[in-house]
Amino acid sequence: MRVAVIGAGSWGTAVAWLLGGKDIEVSLWARETEIAESINAVHRNPHFLKDIVLPSSVRSTPEIADAVSGADSVVVVTPSHGVRGVAEQMQPFLGNDVPVIDLAKGVEQGTGMRMTEVLEEVLGNRDRLAALSGPNHAEEVSKGVPSATVVAAYSEAVGKLFQDMFMAPTFRVYTNPDVVGVELGGASKNVIAVAAGMSDGLGFGDNTKATLMTRGLAEMSRLGSHQGANTLTYMGLAGMGDLIVTCTSRHSRNRALGEWVAKGGTVESYATETNMVAEGATSAVSIDDLAHRIGIEMPITHQVRAILYEGHSASEAVGVLMGRSAADELRGMGLVEDEG
């Protein structure tokens, strides 16, 4: 089997390590030539997960045509805002039936599309597409720390193919036919994690973070339910599981971004300082736009957007959220039509 992994950031490097460890031939596309050269010479990524030694079955290339030509399947591991661009680059070299799985977590700005919808628009043949999402920090997966994830596919056969491909002794893979719920859960939880980080930055305690996570999960499931997702998906690894780890982990870029901003930093300065992409910064806009367009209320998401881009302060947002009118807890959780 030959697999093309598109993206050599932390998660792409971890995926290459995981698949290469199963003696799968991996062609890892790196945008930066120096990354490809280092991986081929010393089996290390010089910028991401620097202490991880990649198997000899992993080879890297800065040419996307070289990566995907002849591949039996493709794994897309770029930031969500780059998915359309790499799909357009891949399209001339990719057969119509080659299975493609997306690991980016986001909603495209402007269109409101999920990532598999973007891939379908560019590559065609929805049945060969899938998405993977779960509590999977690259730093832990690449060290063999026991982890689990979910593969959601439009075709049962494609879901099983990717389940078998990713399954490893320290990486357990479940399938779920709810592509909408898995994708939207992965995108929307990043915004809630930014809010959780802001809570940390303001010096609040466990009560506050637990409240944000729980009410954040209500927002997530409300959005998903409105878009046709199974509400139960949000109780699983791609929902609650991913939300917990992203809101609490020291590895979480989104939580760290929120803390950074609450202490006076900006989205731009965080990116410059860390050389990392926090998907929640982009998703705060795209998901808030989507929620407004379809007429549902996502107050935490809206406040995160206002803090990141509209000059609002995190402390002001606390007053807005705490001052909302009283409501029944069970309403607005995707279980009934009323919102709150």
The arithmetic mean of pLDDT across residues 240-252, rounded, is 96
Task: Assess contact for 212 and 247: CB atoms under 8 A.
Answer: yes
In eight-state DSSP terms, residue 233 is G
Amino acid identity for residue 81 in this structure? H
pLDDT at residue 338 above 50?
A: no
In eight-state DSSP terms, residue 88 is H
What percent of the chain has pLDDT above 70? 97
- List, for residues 22-77, the tens digit of each pLDDT value: 999 999 999 999 999 999 999 999 999 999 999 999 999 999 999 999 999 999 99
Of 208, 223, 220, 218, nearest in space to 258 by CA: 208
pLDDT at residue 337 above 90?
A: no
Give the integer Cα–Cα distance in Å for 154 and 132.
12
Q: What is the per-residue pLDDT for 334?
A: 55
- List, for residues 307-330, the tens digit of each pLDDT value: 999 999 998 888 888 888 888 787
Catalytic pick among 160, 189, 209, 263: 189
Domain positions in the chain are 2-177, 180-322
Q: What is the largest CA-CA distance in the chain?
A: 61
Give the integer Cα–Cα distance in Å for 171 and 321.
38
**Does residue 189 carry a catalytic annotation?**
yes
Q: Domain spanning 2-177 has what CATH number? A: 3.40.50.720
Please determine, looking at this structure, whether the domain spanning 180-322 carries the CATH number 1.10.1040.10: yes
